[in-house]
Amino acid sequence: MTNRSFRPCLGLSDPLMNLGKCRENSLESHSGTAQNVAEARNETSGVQDKGRCIDPEYFALLERAITHRKDLTPAEVMELLTPPGPIEEIQLWQTAHQLRAATLGECVHLRAIIEFSNYCRQDCLYCGLRRSNSKVARYRMRPEEMVETTIKTHKLHSFGTYVLQSGEDPGYPLAELEHAVKQIKEATGAAVTLSTGEMTPEAYRALRAAGADRFLLKFETSDTELFQKLKPTTTLAHRLGCLASLRQLGYQIGSGIILGLTGQDLSIVAKDLLLCRDEGYEMVSIGPFIPHPDTPLGQYQMESGLSESLASNPAIDTNVRSTITTMAIARLLVPHAHMPATTALGVVGKHDESWKTITPFLRDARSLALAAGANVLMLDVTPARYKESYSIYPGKPQADGDIIGNSIEQAKEDIYALGMAVCPDRGDSPKPPWGRGNTHVKR
Ligand code: SF4
């Protein structure tokens, strides 16, 4: 994108377009008085454009993020992470949407996810599936059941991608997983994404040979010390090594972070985002942290109380706006990445409605994400009988495999309400060698 195509105001096709017109009304009607509007304006200084104001320094930084993203420093990313006021915040979101439209179009990819095993050998301090959590009823789906679920789902909607997710489960036979990948590809013609954690290079290779196209493995945090505290049974170096193996094998790679982890600060998040930029992941996920009561972090937060917990971690208040802002910056830094409007964000949006003061016309937090740089919605199609057992965090919508038809229709309605369409293709990365017209895909 050039300087010329960078527009400080909204394009007509922008789903946040109304903000440009009614931002002041929104602030006025939802914050109460005209004085609030004046105060919001006073939060910014500088450029006047027919009544709208934006901080010129923040605007210049946004422009630099578009034109010189590879040169951005951690300090500049930190500045981007803290927009001086709602006007800059909205400008950032709009810019992310424009960039997403320019690189990936305005449609939304629907992806179906099957959570096929909740066994995990790791002991991450924040996750409900950690091996020390004895309250979880563990399950494994047989490969036949995974294939059957996929075929049933595919009759309702031709998903372009099926995501097979599990904890790190060495007890799940590799041959059975390979079999499931092959069968699902044959039955649907869709892409298969795996999200099964840290494995050996040989296992990654075998699954790739079986037909797996993509792999999701979030590095969670790029800070070695914090990683070690939160994920004591593995190391950041090992995890990054796994990502390097996946890259070598020709997988399209998804990675990303959890935002708001205890001990995380803005400088760490800035470095996380720059790592995503430097690695050029094909998918980037920014999910808000939600403490699970049956984990050490959840216990800590409950014992210390919410306000104290936030006080110990003031830079990253995990709310909808901070998550959208971080995600929008990820869009600027990794323009071609697919980016989900995460389920966790939807959960946070049910409790935090502060975003409605500036975007009152959007249905929910995930819609806001789709209007601010995200372009993927994941639908959980795991059979309902496993519904309570895949509890990474509390409040997660329960698996709804038996009523998936309703979920699909709801997702479509939400997408159409944004003036967007459902993407008809598999949703491969637009980058070579996967991008359209390039068939040189390494198997
Ligand atoms: S975050 Fe992943 S690796 Fe860690 S305990 Fe949860 S499922 Fe296992």
Q: Are 287 and 320 in contact (CB under 8 A)?
A: no
Q: Do residues 228 and 369 both lie within one domain?
A: yes
295 alpha carbon to ligand 1 midpoint, in Å? 12
Digit-coded pLDDT (tens) for 96-138:
999 999 999 999 999 999 999 999 999 999 999 999 999 999 9
118 alpha carbon to ligand 1 midpoint, in Å? 9
Q: Do residues 209 and 343 both lie within one domain?
A: yes
Q: Do residues 228 and 321 both lie within one domain?
A: yes
Q: Which residue's CA is minimally distant from atom 2 of ligand 1? A: 167
User: In this structure, is residue 425 part of a structural domain?
Assistant: no
CA–CA separation, 87 and 110 (whole Å): 31
Digit-coded pLDDT (tens) for 363-421:
899 999 999 999 999 999 999 888 777 776 666 665 554 567 788 999 999 999 999 99
User: In this structure, is residue 431 part of a structural domain?
Assistant: no
Q: Do residues 113 and 99 both lie within one domain?
A: no
Digit-coded pLDDT (tens) for 3-62:
333 343 333 345 555 443 333 333 333 333 233 323 333 333 333 344 557 899 999 999
User: In this structure, is residue 6 part of a structural domain?
Assistant: no
Instruction: Mention every residue, 6+ apart, whose C-beta is less than 8 A from residue 342.
Output: 285, 286, 287, 288, 366, 369, 378
Q: Do residues 194 and 247 both lie within one domain?
A: yes
Can you give the CATH number for the domain in which 281 is found? 3.20.20.70
Angle formed at CA 15 by CA 14 and CA 20, multiple of 5 degrees: 70
Per-residue pLDDT, averaged over 192-205, amounts to: 98
Provide the pLDDT for residue 16. 56
User: In this structure, is residue 227 part of a structural domain?
Assistant: yes
User: In this structure, is residue 114 part of a structural domain?
Assistant: yes
Q: Do residues 57 and 144 both lie within one domain?
A: no
Q: Do residues 181 and 307 both lie within one domain?
A: yes
Query: What's at 112, amino acid-wise?
Result: A
Q: Do residues 307 and 194 both lie within one domain?
A: yes
Parallel/antiparallel/unpaired status of strands 52-54 and 47-49: antiparallel
Provide the pLDDT for residue 241. 98
Closest ligand 1 atom to the C-alpha of 128? 6
Closest ligand 1 atom to the C-alpha of 231? 4
User: In this structure, is residue 434 part of a structural domain?
Assistant: no
Q: Do residues 54 and 127 both lie within one domain?
A: no
Q: Do residues 228 and 311 both lie within one domain?
A: yes
User: In this structure, is residue 325 part of a structural domain?
Assistant: yes
Domain membership of residue 263 as a residue range: 106-417
Q: Do residues 239 and 317 both lie within one domain?
A: yes
Q: Do residues 311 and 277 both lie within one domain?
A: yes
Closest ligand 1 atom to the C-alpha of 130? 5
pTM of the model: 0.86
HSE value, Cβ hemisphere, 13 Å, CA-based, for 443: 5
User: In this structure, is residue 344 part of a structural domain?
Assistant: yes
Which residues surround ligand 1 with Cβ inside 6 Å?
Answer: 120, 122, 124, 127, 129-130, 167-168, 197
Total structural domains in the chain? 2
